[in-house]
Amino acid sequence: MKQLYITLIFFLGIGLSIALAAPPDVVQYKIDVRLDTSSQMLYGKEILTWHNLSNDRVKDIYLHLYWNAFKNEESAYLSESAESQGRSNHSGHLDEIEDAGWIRLKQVTLSDGRSLKEAMQYVTPDLPRRPGDQTVLRIDLPEVVQPGGSVRLHIDFEAKIPKAIARAGYYNNNYFISQWFPKPGVYQAGKGWNCHAYHYFSEFFADFADFDVRITVPQDFVVGASGVNTERVVNDTAGTVTYRYQQNHIHDFAWTAGQRFIKKERLFNPDSLISEDEYRHYASLFNLPLDSVRLTPVKLILLIRPEHENQIERHFQATEQSVKYLGLWFGRYPYPTLTVVDPPYRTGSSGMEYPTLVTAATRPIIAEEGWIPDGVIAHEFAHNYWYGMAANNEFEEAWLDEGITTYSEDKVMQAMHGKTKMIVTFGPFPISRYFDQIRYSSWERARSSALHIVETDPVVTPSWQFYDIYSYFLNVYERTALNLFTLERLLGKDTMLRVLRTFQSRYRYRHPTTQDFIGIVNEVSGRDMRWFFDEFFYGDRLFDYGVGSLVSHKIVPPIGVFDSDSGMVVVSRDSLEGRTEPDSLTRYKTIVRVRRYGQARPGGDVRIKLLVAFADSTTETRYWDGRKRWQEFRFETAARAVYAQVDPDTLFLLDANLANNSYRTETKSAGINRWAGKFLFWLQNLLTIITLIS
Amino acid sequence: MTVWNIFRRSFGESLRRYPLVLIMWMGNLIFALSAMMPLYAFVKNQFGHSLTVDSMLEKFNMYWVSDLAFMLRDVQPLLWWPMISALLLFLVLQIFFNAAVLGSLNAWLEKDSLSSFFENGGRLFGRFFKLFLIFLPLYLIALLVLPALVDSVSSGYVERAVNEWPGQIVFLIKTGVMILAFTIVNMVADYAKIAAVQNDRIGAVRALLTGGRFLFRTFFRAWALYWLLVIFFLIVSVAYMETENLITANSAALIVVVFLLQQIYMLCRYWIKVQFYQAQMEFFQANHLI
């Protein structure tokens, strides 16, 4: 009872705070949907109210009908998938025709009952054109929607649930239902509708909305959904139960239904998880009043499969840690609930984000400190900040959510576990005992893959226009994370946190763009970092600086014939021999040539640092703007140079070759020999294994 | 003679035949060294003067691994064919070595020497190569066809699954079937080779039939011996891995220690291989002649 009271108090409190902070929702949905498990169909009635918050007079409305992506092979999604040269594609999905998915608008009327059926037309807004695609529908409205006005559509729809594909669908009478209802695109003042087709490599974009959704399912089904469950009505005659979920200021609504879920709830109680010192630290860091960094309770709802029941605590812990750290860093999570779903088996919906609902991913047997499930939960929950609340256009600038989320997830994982432990499995069993030594930091992982696609595409590329799926994933996830870790090193950790916090608070419940992010970086850091984004987000050039050569030798008097007041003086090598100078007078000349091997260059106030270390333990530091192809630095010192190193603090994690960043006058082979020995041993074993068949 | 007694006898006898072990190990080491030398030279050239070398003494450092992978990105596709060719070449060399070892073990009264080793290898190589060609399809069946068969038989079961376990169980069954089938084919191949060695006059096909007939009569005891040897090998391997796991080779002395440990393990692998042949030959002789 006490818990219920607390819950009600914070629901009201948070609801109020959202209402005060957020701009008005653009869309209102009232949806009544029934799941028919015998035919894998959804039957829905939707009342969609769209408010024109722009100063434009709008004469049409564009709707996403995402599930038509799985209707036939003429859809942009399936045709792009088939064209992706057989690499992890969905060709063959329609071999069993009942696996198809589609959505059909049976009736669309205005509030006065006028039908809009004749005014509907599928459109293909993106290039290359896919005329058979039916994922975007334009409806010409009989009357213009005036600035400040609104239009209300009454939509009667039915949708065939696809067999699990692209994180939606059914498998063995378990359902994960996402991107399922007619949803308008985003109207951009002066530009018109932004409503892209459902592409093979793309996610979504929608306006903030107020959802009121009733979901009717068989009585033995457990349901999890976005928002707060405010009502449950049982219909014994029909053998169904209807759940009502409500939530404002979110831009999507997903739900799941299945017979095998275990449902657990827990209150995220910040008082027991966050100390006053932590609050004080972040209040000081962000220069905010103490109360504004305090977090509020959140009702955590976990839907987990029975075979993972022993991981309930692990799921809750990962969720709590994510809510804690992301809340402290980027501002409190403002919604009253967070639902974490261990998605039904083979619905292919694991590791996906929806507002106030995320899907985790796990295995029957998991390793301690592994990325699964903790990293997945941290990643998907971080999306509630980067996509959920700062709701960028995922079609056009996917890095803004996926990249910042990967960076944020990495920060949470570092806070939770330090370096990530590599988990190796044999079937279901972790066999990490002999790989226990392999731990790596997030930026090391990101760097290992990101370097390979730098020259393929810029990070800022519309999702469907990446060269291939690898370029898409590695650019928007790993390369972006690597770039952000580099930015963090250039700006400092605290400044980077301030940047992200400011970006989040400035664009919460709005649609930020890359330019908005750059603006915040410049504003918060007080530096002009446009070059960084031009080079590493809009650019596709490798960054690689290194030491080209290092020569260090004792200075000896020059030989030859020299003019002097008394005439010509001859200094020969023989005449110098045997001349000894005290050590204190011995001088050494060192010449270091630093090279720019790549095309990318630093800009603004950033300089390439060169450190030269000498045998007497002294060091010299020089800076170079890095514009030319190479630069020579000369030193005259009391000791011979031992090594030279560019970027000794490894600020530029995205440097394509860190090995050439340093040059030591003498070679050292111990490390090489160690790994050569290992490699030789692996090779010897490989040979003996291969020859088992001899 | 019991299986255990044969195992014990072969243990001692194979130790006595250490020259065979040494020759096989040397062959493996020289081949592996030659194969990796270009890469070693490349790495030394790229990293020898770099401070990165110091990080190679850490347990694991991903920076230099990423650097190396990136440096090799364009040549990786070019490396496949040389690597496959090298493996095929070693396979042929190993067929020769098997012939040499079994020939030498059969001539147990002779003193092992390099010349007798190569003489035996040369004498038996042709028939061993034919046996290899005969058994190759059987290995492919064991390693590829049977697992695919298990997949197709169990696909309905896996499709209907409501959780991961059926898929994982099928994976384990598939792996088990693959291992069992492989060991059986491997054992039949071993006895066919032994039959070929025992009788100089029979060809590869007759050797196969003789080995097959022999196993038909003694299958379970022969298989028990086979698994006893496999278990012995696994114990040695685990012992090696546990020992190696204790050492972080971050100094020149420890690098040498680990290298020696690795080569001792490789010697053990070849010793167990010789013991394998010795035990199976004794088992064949003990049961075939009677």
Cβ of residue A659 closer than 8 Å to a chain B Cβ: yes
Over residues B66-75, the mean pLDDT reads: 92
Name every chain B residue with its beta carbon within 8 A of the beta carbon of A307. 163-165
Sheet hosting strand A169-171, strand order edge to edge: A169-171, A174-177, A255-258, A222-225
Residue B242, Cα to own-chain centre: how many angstroms? 21
pLDDT band at residue A9, thresholds of 50, 70 and 90?
very low
Measured CA angle at A367 (ends B178, A223), to 5 deg: 100
Residue among B108, B106, B64, B73 at smallest CA distance from B193? B106
A300 φ/ψ angles, rounded to the nearest 5 degrees: -95, 130
Cβ of B37: how many Cβ atoms within 10 Å? 12
Of A161 and A365, the one with more pLDDT: A161
* List of domains in chain A: 23-261 (2.60.40.1730), 264-540 (1.10.390.10), 545-668 (2.60.40)
pLDDT at A87 over 80: no
Residue among B7, B3, B83, B49 at smallest CA distance from B275? B7
For residue A25, the 8-state DSSP code is P
Task: Burial-class residue A472 by CB neighbours within 10 Å (0-12, 13-18, 19+).
Answer: buried
Smallest CA–CA separation between A238 and chain B, in Å? 26
Annotated catalytic, A66?
no
Question: Cα separations (Å) of A4 from A299, A365, A509, A659, B180?
Answer: 11, 35, 28, 59, 59
Task: Burial-class residue A526 by CB neighbours within 10 Å (0-12, 13-18, 19+).
Answer: exposed
> Per the CB < 8 Å rule, is B64 touching A659?
yes
The ranges assigned to domains in chain B are 3-288
A219: Cβ contacts below 8 Å, ≥ 6 apart: A234, A236, A239, A240, A241
Q: What is the pLDDT of residues B123-134, one digit of tens each?
A: 999 999 999 999
Residue pair A163/A99 in contact by the 8 Å Cβ criterion: yes
d(CA A665, CA A648) in angstroms, rounded, equals 17
Residue pair B268/A681 in contact by the 8 Å Cβ criterion: no
> Per the CB < 8 Å rule, is B53 touching A660?
no
Residue pair A116/A108 in contact by the 8 Å Cβ criterion: yes
pLDDT at position A437: 66
* Residue listed under structure tokens 């009788």: B199
Q: What is the pLDDT of residues B88-143, one digit of tens each?
A: 999 999 999 999 999 999 987 788 889 999 999 999 999 999 999 999 999 999 99
pLDDT band at residue B181, thresholds of 50, 70 and 90?
very high
Residue pair A375/A413 in contact by the 8 Å Cβ criterion: yes
pLDDT at A5 over 80: no
Residue pair A140/A60 in contact by the 8 Å Cβ criterion: yes
pLDDT at A4 over 50: no
Name every chain B residue with its beta carbon within 8 A of the beta carbon of A643. 51
Sheet hosting strand A337-341, strand order edge to edge: A262-268, A298-304, A337-341, A357-359, A352-354
The model's pTM:
0.91
pLDDT at position A346: 85
pLDDT at position A21: 64
pLDDT at position A179: 97
Residue among B177, B184, B179 at smallest CA distance from B154? B177
The answer for A 287-316 residues in CB contact with B (under 8 A) is 305-307
pLDDT at position A6: 42
pLDDT at position A63: 98
pLDDT at B245 over 90: no
A684: alpha, beta or left? (left if phi > 0; alpha if psi -120 to 50): alpha
Name every chain B residue with its beta carbon within 8 A of the beta carbon of A478. none
pLDDT at B52 over 80: yes
Which tokens hold the place of A288? 């905010």
Q: What is the pLDDT of residues B214-237, one digit of tens each?
A: 999 999 999 999 999 999 999 999
pLDDT band at residue A288, thresholds of 50, 70 and 90?
very high
Q: Which of A66, A477, A507, A545 is catalytic?
A: A477
pLDDT at position A85: 61
pLDDT at B43 over 80: yes
pLDDT above 90: percentage of residues in chain A? 82
Cβ of residue B29 closer than 8 Å to a chain A Cβ: yes
Cβ of A623: how many Cβ atoms within 10 Å? 11
Residue among A566, A406, A380 at smallest CA distance from A482? A406
Residue pair A305/A260 in contact by the 8 Å Cβ criterion: yes
Lowest mean pLDDT among A264-278, A463-477, B29-43, B106-120: B106-120
Over residues A43-58, the mean pLDDT reads: 98
pLDDT at position A95: 80
Over residues B28-37, the mean pLDDT reads: 95
pLDDT at position A442: 85
Over residues A389-396, the mean pLDDT reads: 98
Q: Which of A170, A304, A694 to mutate to test the interface with B (most CBs of B within 10 A)?
A: A694
Cβ of residue B70 closer than 8 Å to a chain A Cβ: yes
Please give the torsion angle defined by the CA atoms of residues A138, A144, A149 and A153, in that order, rounded to the nearest 10 degrees: -40
ipTM of the complex: 0.95
* Residue listed under structure tokens 């190679």: B56
B287: Cβ contacts below 8 Å, ≥ 6 apart: B214, B217, B218, B221
Cβ of residue B38 closer than 8 Å to a chain A Cβ: no
pLDDT at position A91: 64
Residue pair A176/A167 in contact by the 8 Å Cβ criterion: yes
Question: Cα separations (Å) of B11 from B18, B247, B278?
Answer: 11, 29, 8
Q: Which of B30, B44, B50 to mutate to test the interface with A (most CBs of A within 10 A)?
A: B50
Lowest mean pLDDT among A239-248, A294-303, B10-19: B10-19
pLDDT band at residue A18, thresholds of 50, 70 and 90?
very low
Q: Tell me the pairing of strands A588-596 and A352-354.
A: unpaired
The whole-chain average pLDDT of chain B stands at 92
Which tokens hold the place of A460? 């800022």
For residue A365, the 8-state DSSP code is S
- Strand (E) or helix (H) holding B169: helix B165-198
d(CA B187, CA B284) in angstroms, rounded, equals 12
pLDDT at B144 over 80: yes
Which tokens hold the place of A298? 């959140």
Q: Which of A320, A380, A396, A478 is catalytic?
A: A380
Residue type, A688: T
pLDDT at position A94: 83
Lowest mean pLDDT among A105-119, A247-261, A586-600, B195-209: B195-209
Over residues A653-659, the mean pLDDT reads: 96
Residue type, B258: V
d(CA A618, CA A614) in angstroms, rounded, equals 5
Residue pair A79/A130 in contact by the 8 Å Cβ criterion: yes
A392 φ/ψ angles, rounded to the nearest 5 degrees: -75, 170
Residue pair A603/A637 in contact by the 8 Å Cβ criterion: no
